[in-house]
Structures are given as structure tokens and as C-alpha cells.
Structure 1
């Protein structure tokens, strides 16, 4: 007589291990792709903020150079070769009245326009400042 065969059958788990491994790798890959996409978006935003900061600093420097010039030389254009930003300034005479009704003379509106292109998108920023330039004797 043959010995009795074990009557308890062992459950088959070989296929489940492979399935669990594939599922775990898929979840991990989705998580890593999500993090990579978030990091890429953060870097793009940081680059845009950096570009805006460069434009603001350039406009401030351009204004500092212009404010000491005579009125006739305040309307000019400058192109920054490093960043490809073009700064253009214009002046406009102002007629401002005080609370007593008298008119302020020798007041001008200085407008600085910064034009640049970033990733094929045109960007135009403007700075308007009131300046006092008395007539030169």
C-alpha cells in the first residue's frame, strides 16, 4: 500500500507575489512621476520670478542713471545685451495743482518701459515716476 497523500492542499501563491511586485512598482512610478512634475513646475515658477526680478532691478538701475541727467536727455533707449531686455524712457510734462490751487511747475512723468521675450512670450513692464526737474538757467 501506498502511503496516504497529504490531504491538505497548499494554496498557490506564486502568481500573487509577481502581481504584488508589479503593483508596487506601478504605484512607486506614479508617485515619482508626480514628484518630478511638481519639481519641474516649481523650477519654471522660480525662473519666471528670477526673470521678473532681473527686469525690476534693470528698471531701477536705468531710472537711477536717468534721474541725474538733464530733461532733454531723459528720453532714451538702452538694450541689455546679457538678458535681451530693451528699456525705453519717455518724459511727459505734468500740470499738478496743489490744495491751495496753485500749479506746480517743472514736474514731469518719467515712464520706463521694459520689453523682453522669454520662451517666445513677449513681456512688457512699465514704471511711472514723477520727477522734479527745474529749468536750467
Structure 2
């Protein structure tokens, strides 16, 4: 069965042209260049990305940038270490719905066990979240 597509209107074509334009260097100061290194789909499938709710935060002693973050993953709670302390008021992010790499190997950072990773974007560590209210533990596909 062949997929049918409707022809673009002139307005849609104009929009498509503007979205494909390169941004000037001054607009992209916080954006790292894309890597030429690629992973195959099987490698990508190994990532267990989950929706989580932040339920507790506290600064890590002697670590200016790090915070201890406890998240609810639906079936369990996990403790993570995240480099968000200078960029977020830790009290304000409690209750936020975020995206977590749930199958990252455990690590000890400044004496605190970390069992996953919060995903964030940009120099401001803008926490990745979902568009709708997804339940903690929901798999990101």
C-alpha cells in the first residue's frame, strides 16, 4: 500500500524553507557541534529512559555544583547525583516530572551513590520533561 501525501501549500513551503535555514553563529553560542559518531538502533534501545518525579533534593557537602536528588520511578525510588545545584533552586524542583536514564551503572560521586542520570539541556541545565502528565515509571519510546 502506497502512502498518500497531500501537496504542500505555498505557506507550508515557505515555512519549510525557513526551518531549514542555518542559524547564525551568534544565535548558536550554547550549542555544541553535532558529532559524526553514530550508534546503531540496537545501542539506542539499550537506554532505559523513564519518566520520574523529583521527590527530594539536597546539596552535596563540598560539591558546589552537585545535588542529591531522589526520584520516584513508579515501582521504586532512586537516588541520583546531578550537577544542577548552581542552576536550580533545589526546593523549587521538588514535584517536577523529569526524564531519567534508569539503567546507567551505579557510581559513587562525592561519597554519594548515584543510580541513574537526570537529563538536562544547555548551559542552564534545563531539565527535560514530558509534554503531558506522564506517570512516574513510564518508558520513553
TM-score range relative to shorter protein: under 0.3
Report the TM-score when normalising by structure 2: 0.20
Give the number of the structure whose alpha-carbon radius of gyration is greater: 1
Report the TM-score when normalising by structure 1: 0.20
